[in-house]
């Protein structure tokens, strides 16, 4: 991570070296450093909105197969990685904000079963912007979205990734 205090200004974003840019923005899309490597080429950015738009465009412009790869990079909500403390700092904070670190035994059972069923059907984990939700709405979303088609879940998953990405950028850059 950067050796300077966050948040940083858009002029500081524009003056980062390529390596610094990739380090600072390499996880705004979970574990997808390719996004930062592509977006850095679009500098300079006029403002944080333009930076967010560049990452959103990256997500829109990649192939369907690459979208699925991005979805697969995300951890299960309240899953094994969370239990072992192995989430990225961003994911850990987001899951904590949603209350997923304080599930009852019953909520944990329902979440685990629903996550497993969802992943078996779609081939990638259920993705929702945890910071915009709480435990009950996440469980309801998991159960409701299970009935969607593969195509609809890819679209919905990427839409949620875009929301997560924007919030992560807003944590990094002054606005």
Q: Give me the active site residues, please.
A: 74
Peptide bond preceding 128 in cis form (omega within 30 of 0): no
What is the distance of C-alpha 148 from the center of its chain? 20
| Closest to 73 (Cα-Cα) out of 168, 161, 163, 174 | 161
Query: Dihedral sign, CA of 51, 95, 34, 8?
Result: positive
**Do 162 and 126 touch, CB atoms closer than 8 A?**
no
Strand partners, 173: 8
CA angle 72, 75, 77 (to 5 degrees): 125
Place of tokens 């009852």: 104
74/103 Cα distance (integer angstroms): 20
Q: At how many degrees (to 10) do helices 48-61 and 150-172 cross?
A: 160
């Amino acid at each position: 991570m950067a050796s300077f205090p966050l948040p940083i200004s858009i002029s500081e974003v524009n003056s980062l070296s390529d390596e610094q840019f990739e380090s600072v923005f390499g996880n705004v899309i979970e574990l997808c450093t390719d996004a930062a490597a592509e977006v850095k080429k679009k500098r300079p950015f006029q403002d944080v909105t333009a930076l967010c738009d560049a990452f959103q465009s990256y997500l829109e412009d990649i192939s369907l197969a690459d979208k699925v790869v991005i979805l697969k990079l995300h951890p299960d909500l309240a899953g094994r990685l969370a239990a072992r403390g192995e989430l990225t700092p961003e994911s850990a904070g987001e899951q904590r904000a949603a209350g997923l670190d304080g599930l009852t035994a019953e909520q944990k059972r329902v979440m685990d079963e629903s996550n497993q069923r969802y992943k078996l059907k779609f081939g990638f984990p259920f993705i929702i912007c945890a910071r915009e939700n709480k435990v009950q709405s996440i469980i309801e979303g998991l159960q409701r979205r299970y009935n969607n088609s593969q195509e609809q879940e890819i679209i919905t998953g990427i839409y949620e990734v875009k929301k997560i990405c924007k919030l992560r950028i807003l944590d990094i850059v002054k606005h």
